[in-house]
Structure 1
Amino acid sequence: MIKTQNRRALRTLLSFALIAGAPLIAHADDAPLFVPQWLGAQYTFVDQNQSRVHSPYQGPLSLDPNGSTARSHTFGVYFGVALPWHFQYYFDVEMFKGEGVSNATGLGGLTNGDIIRSGVASLGKRPYVARDYLRWVLPLSDETTAVERGQDQLPDHEATKHIEVKIGFMAVNDDFDKNRYANATRTQFMNWSLWNNTTWDFASDTRGYTDGLVIGWIMPTWSLRYGIYRMPVEANGQALLKSLSASNGQQLELTLQPKQDGWALRFLGYYNRGNMGLYQQAIEIAEQTGQTPDIHADDAPGRHKFGFGINGELPIADNGDTGFFMRAGWNNGKAESFIFTEVDRLLSGGFQLSGVHWGRSDDHLGVGVAINGLSHEHAQYLSLGGEGFLLGDGALRYGPEQIAEVYYNIAVIDHLTISPDLQFIRNPGYNRDRGPARFAGLRAHVQF
């Protein structure tokens, strides 16, 4: 790992260059060595309303039965520096304000992906470092392809066959479980179960970032990536454990894509080792003591959790702007949901349709559905009144959480899109006694 003091030195150096040498900052089509490049900036606003919910009972982490309205704002600026010998350095700063409906609790598939995990954590509203890492590329061929400027992507020409290494502070889902049609919560689907595999409990702090190492073997028709990252100290926690030997999150993903703009299949496996509780053990302790089960009280080091996922995309028309997507995921569901959300089974899919068919080539219509499920132990724990970090109705009559979402992304002018969004959820929080719930939202996104 990059030591903390080294990262701070790099940040200080970059900040000095940005302030004292501002005229040198560039965003041209090349990337001169040692010159900080401004790679982009964004602002996203989400206004979302939750309907009233049928609620014969409720707990501390239920959807608000009286309905809820919430607004969120996210800001980000993104920089990169080209270094000798195929090294690159990336540094991002973000800021979040606002909240999600019902305090971003009460669902496995939460409805606003831009407030990821802020929920009950009460994070500060100041700017924070989002990414701070080094990337190195080892070319394996003379054939190259152009790489356009973008967030965490310096403009360059890279070998079509190469080894990639990233080390530092980053987001795990920047490199794994990507999908052309369901990957960007600021312009595509907003529900968590549609832009990521929610059974994949990937390592991160509360905001979604962690220290780690990624190694990728990239070929023209396939790629293989492995990543290992620091785990949080506790469920939904901001502090990260220091020791990788005692606690870590690991993932391996194989991507098959015979043609660059053709269909793609991704096969993901993950294994977490950390300070987690076990649902069955928490249940047994509660039965012996006559108390409500508490998964957090059963936390102990050395516990593990593993799972698998498959992710597919199929372009069918309009140079790939129209196409289908799907995801399926499973985890063993014995250890507590620790980081991302409370989902143990997932099946999702849908499509994106280009607006070219009605004379709006930069617009997109998206329709998606998802079914979330829990393991037997997880459902039993909640039915006895147990709480996770997102779920806790006080009781549970289990049923799969069923989600539908439709959005229309309107390109208003260059750099600005506005998206009306509707979501419908049956059995919110996996509870047949509650719901259904309806959500209407409006999202505005500015990106440079």
Structure 2
Amino acid sequence: MRTQGGIGRGVARSATVLVAVTLGLWARESAAADPAARPPAGVIDWSGPSFGLQGSAGASFGNYEIGPTTIGARRVSAIGTGDATGSRDLGADATTVVGGAFAGWTWQDGAFVYGLEADLVGANLKRGLRSDAAGFGYQAVDPPFALIREKTDLFGTLRGRLGYAFGNSLIYASAGLAGANGRVLATYPDPAGGPAGTASRDLAYLGFTLGAGVQFAVHPHLSLGIDYRYSDLGESRRFDLGILPGPAGGPVSTRTAFVSNQMMARLIWHPQALALQPDEADDAPRDSRFSLHGQTTFVNQAVSGFRAPYRGPQSLVPDQAQATTTATLFLGLKLWEGTELYYNPEFSQGFGLSRTLGVAGFVNGEAQKAGAPFPKLRSNRYFVRQTFGLGGETEEVPDGPNAIAGTRDVERITVIAGKFALGDFFDGNLYAHDPRVDFMNWGLWASAAWDFPANLPGFTQGVMVEYNRAEFAIRAAYTQVPKEPSSDVLDPRVFERAGANLEFEGRYTLPVLVQPGRLRLGLFSNVGNAADFRQVVALTQGGAFADINDAAAATRAPRRKSGLYVNLEQALTPDLGLFARASANDGRNESLSFTDVDGSVSGGLSLKGSAWGRPQDTVGLGASRNTISRAHQAYFANGGLGLLIGDGRLRYAPERAVEVYYAMNLTKAVTVTVDYQHVENPAYNRDRGPADFFGTRLHTDF
């Protein structure tokens, strides 16, 4: 980390100088420019002061290093590193709740925005490290370990911002100085069995920060934003840290360093009113060759305390908070008539609760895309779409994510080849299918027992073919599967191991309701490298393996998992819709991709807010019930670990969940959601829960 910090500090100095020089030049040019100059039409003028609040629970992460350490006149190896993640029960007793205030001033030249901003946030960032006896020069018998912990409760930054404004939105990059405090606490055991020695030291860090963010005006005096920053807080000077007792002991001195990744939601007040731009009309002309769209989704979620008499390696942990963020670009190009090319780069950051573990029907649909303490860039989709029109009636194609404006034949054959998510084309539902805007529970937005082939973020490579008519559609896909359960690597042996999916979609209008509906029937059969539950239970109980997970890893071989799903969406009125799903698989072998469910039923209602004057708002209420086969139950009861769950033992009961959400549409581009979920028997275990989950979601798109 010190090497990275040295490089980073050089980057910081360069970035800070660049920001300062740029701001100075722009300020001088602006002063000399025509005072009547204004931003271009259709763009907000962000100039002037701004003040705000920012914060998150579980969306900030720290990684620290301690050492090399000197004991007396001896230098011992570096003690090690620690990771501060989003829950006090994860990593090394770490919590990461941040919140505070900021103030700044912004200037604008056309669509380009620049400014200065200072902020101060309180935090609860704890990180701890245990070192074995040998790490402190002891014999490797007594004492078992030493414990060193550090806590940071205050961060501050001074940053320059450079950005670009369009419509009611602003994107920006930032760079500047960052500071934080630290308090190091050490506990040293006495080899003779006497009282442990203790020591403490207060530290101050000064380093640099780099970041980026987005901001959306939702009121003349208010805007919402999502702000990410990477901060390298540098390395402390060497300091004394008490005396290590025992014959091998002596005065201890060491040094520490840490970096921080923070993602925060922001509420900004603009004393000088912003002139909001009207939303673009839906019938505005669009380029018929290109398509450019984007989205950002920030989910902050917490779980309260619940009954948990014991804990396994993949158990849900009580009293914690976590957050995930995704940001995606949807790029499309029409190569020639009927042929389109799409590419979707996506940044993702954060973790689901308990590192996305502990609930089979998990509670955050965005969590599978995240999984890193820093923004991670992936090329999630790249595919070619070839459409063969068969003549007859045509329909308009509106411009949208992965759709280029134009017309197409209603009766058509579509072929898609490349990288995509099977959920892009299969198991769709108007009311429960997108965790960025509707239900977040995995048992509600998807057919939970459908083990669709995918890597960890939910994508695969292959071919999809669809035949479409006005009354129905038939689609089929042949795609790669992961090399083993929960692997991010897709298996290249597509003629030996692959996934086949087939779906029929019927469209109709009920004569009584005079409202449209759709019924989908899906079949799937995947061959992948998986273990047989009965086999590994028998091997473990017979003494061939001490750990059932070792038995599973040793006996994985190409095996087939098959199943089906039924998916209904039905409008009851223009504002009220009903959805229902049922899915099942054979339950004999490990799941490869989605989650630990062998049977699932779910359903609910979705209501638009026309009755109370908010037609773009949505209220959703849904419930799900997930089950697993007897062989699967025996696997978990003997200590097996699945894709998401594993308490080390099991007193089985079906996992049941209820979710209710309210999605408030602030502008055409910004939606804020409050979400509540109640889960009975998480991970099918009567000994755990029930658990209550509380979440907020900020979703923006253009």
Task: Report the TM-score when normalising by structure 2.
Answer: 0.58
Please tell me whether residue 180 in structure 1 is matched to residue 430 in structure 2.
yes
Where 2:395 maps in the other structure, the secondary structure is strand
In the TM superposition, residue 193 of structure 1 has moved relative to its aligned partner by 0.6
Please tell me whether residue 127 in structure 1 is matched to residue 377 in structure 2.
yes
In the TM superposition, what are the counterparts of 1:277-288 in structure 2 within 5 Å? Answer: 277-288=531-542
In the TM superposition, residue 101 of structure 1 has moved relative to its aligned partner by 1.2
Q: Return the structure number with greater strand share.
A: 2
Please tell me whether residue 116 in structure 1 is matched to residue 368 in structure 2.
yes
Q: What CA RMSD, in Å, does the superposition of the two structures yield over aligned residues? A: 1.7
In the TM superposition, residue 30 of structure 1 has moved relative to its aligned partner by 4.6
Please give the alpha-carbon distance, in whole angstroms, between the structure 1 residues aligned to 2:569 and 2:666.
Answer: 27
When residues 365 and 100 of structure 1 are mapped into structure 2, their CA distance, relative to the original with a 3 A threshold, is same
Please give the alpha-carbon distance, in whole angstroms, between the structure 2 residues aligned to 1:387 and 1:128.
Answer: 27
Q: Does the CA contact (< 8 Å) of 2:294 and 2:329 recur in 1? A: yes
Find the structure with the greater CA-based Rg. Answer: 2
Please tell me whether residue 59 in structure 1 is matched to residue 312 in structure 2.
yes
Match of 2:505 among 246, 255, 272: 255
Long gaps (5+) in structure 1: 1-26
Please give the alpha-carbon distance, in whole angstroms, between the structure 1 residues aligned to 2:527 and 2:645.
Answer: 22
User: What is residue 175 of structure 2 aligned with on the other side?
Assistant: none
Q: Does the CA contact (< 8 Å) of 2:389 and 2:412 recur in 1? A: yes
When residues 437 and 285 of structure 1 are mapped into structure 2, their CA distance, relative to the original with a 3 A threshold, is same
In the TM superposition, residue 168 of structure 1 has moved relative to its aligned partner by 0.4
Please give the alpha-carbon distance, in whole angstroms, between the structure 2 residues aligned to 1:282 and 1:112.
Answer: 31
In the TM superposition, residue 280 of structure 1 has moved relative to its aligned partner by 0.6
Please tell me whether residue 106 in structure 1 is matched to residue 361 in structure 2.
no
Match of 2:518 among 256, 264, 276: 264
User: What is residue 393 of structure 2 aligned with on the other side?
Assistant: 143
User: What is residue 407 of structure 1 aligned with on the other side?
Assistant: 661
In the TM superposition, residue 45 of structure 1 has moved relative to its aligned partner by 0.8
Please tell me whether residue 245 in structure 1 is matched to residue 495 in structure 2.
yes
Please tell me whether residue 91 in structure 1 is matched to residue 337 in structure 2.
no
User: What is residue 341 of structure 1 aligned with on the other side?
Assistant: 595
Match of 2:298 among 45, 51, 59: 45
Q: How many residues were matched structurally?
A: 414
Which one-letter code corresponds to 1:215 in the other structure? V
1:241-286 CA distance string (max 9 Å, x none): 1121111011000000025971110000000001111111110110
Q: Does the CA contact (< 8 Å) of 2:350 and 2:370 recur in 1? A: no
Which one-letter code corresponds to 1:113 in the other structure? G
When residues 48 and 355 of structure 1 are mapped into structure 2, their CA distance, relative to the original with a 3 A threshold, is same
Where 2:540 maps in the other structure, the secondary structure is helix
Please give the alpha-carbon distance, in whole angstroms, between the structure 1 residues aligned to 2:296 and 2:375.
Answer: 15
Which one-letter code corresponds to 1:235 in the other structure? P
Q: Does the CA contact (< 8 Å) of 1:60 and 1:392 recur in 2? A: yes
Long gaps (5+) in structure 2: 1-281
Please tell me whether residue 353 in structure 1 is matched to residue 607 in structure 2.
yes
Task: Report the TM-score when normalising by structure 1.
Answer: 0.89
Identical aligned pairs, as a percentage? 33
In the TM superposition, residue 317 of structure 1 has moved relative to its aligned partner by 1.1
Where 1:125 maps in the other structure, the secondary structure is strand
In the TM superposition, residue 123 of structure 1 has moved relative to its aligned partner by 8.6
Please give the alpha-carbon distance, in whole angstroms, between the structure 1 residues aligned to 2:466 and 2:435.
Answer: 25
Please give the alpha-carbon distance, in whole angstroms, between the structure 2 residues aligned to 1:123 and 1:71.
Answer: 10
User: What is residue 206 of structure 1 aligned with on the other side?
Assistant: 456
Where 2:366 maps in the other structure, the secondary structure is helix
Which one-letter code corresponds to 2:349 in the other structure? K
In the TM superposition, residue 429 of structure 1 has moved relative to its aligned partner by 0.5
In the TM superposition, residue 150 of structure 1 has moved relative to its aligned partner by 1.0
In the TM superposition, what are the counterparts of 1:366-377 in structure 2 within 5 Å? Answer: 366-377=620-631
Where 1:113 maps in the other structure, the secondary structure is coil
Q: Does the CA contact (< 8 Å) of 1:275 and 1:299 recur in 2? A: no
Q: Return the structure number with greater helix share.
A: 1
Moved more, 262-271 or 124-133: 124-133
In the TM superposition, residue 110 of structure 1 has moved relative to its aligned partner by 0.6
User: What is residue 22 of structure 1 aligned with on the other side?
Assistant: none
In the TM superposition, residue 52 of structure 1 has moved relative to its aligned partner by 1.1
In the TM superposition, residue 29 of structure 1 has moved relative to its aligned partner by 4.0
Where 1:361 maps in the other structure, the secondary structure is strand
Where 2:302 maps in the other structure, the secondary structure is strand
Whose relative contact order is higher, 1 or 2, with alpha carbons under 8 Å and at least 6 apart?
1
Please tell me whether residue 293 in structure 1 is matched to residue 548 in structure 2.
yes
Where 1:183 maps in the other structure, the secondary structure is coil
Please give the alpha-carbon distance, in whole angstroms, between the structure 1 residues aligned to 2:623 and 2:605.
Answer: 10
User: What is residue 25 of structure 2 aligned with on the other side?
Assistant: none
Please give the alpha-carbon distance, in whole angstroms, between the structure 1 residues aligned to 2:530 and 2:564.
Answer: 19
In the TM superposition, residue 167 of structure 1 has moved relative to its aligned partner by 0.2
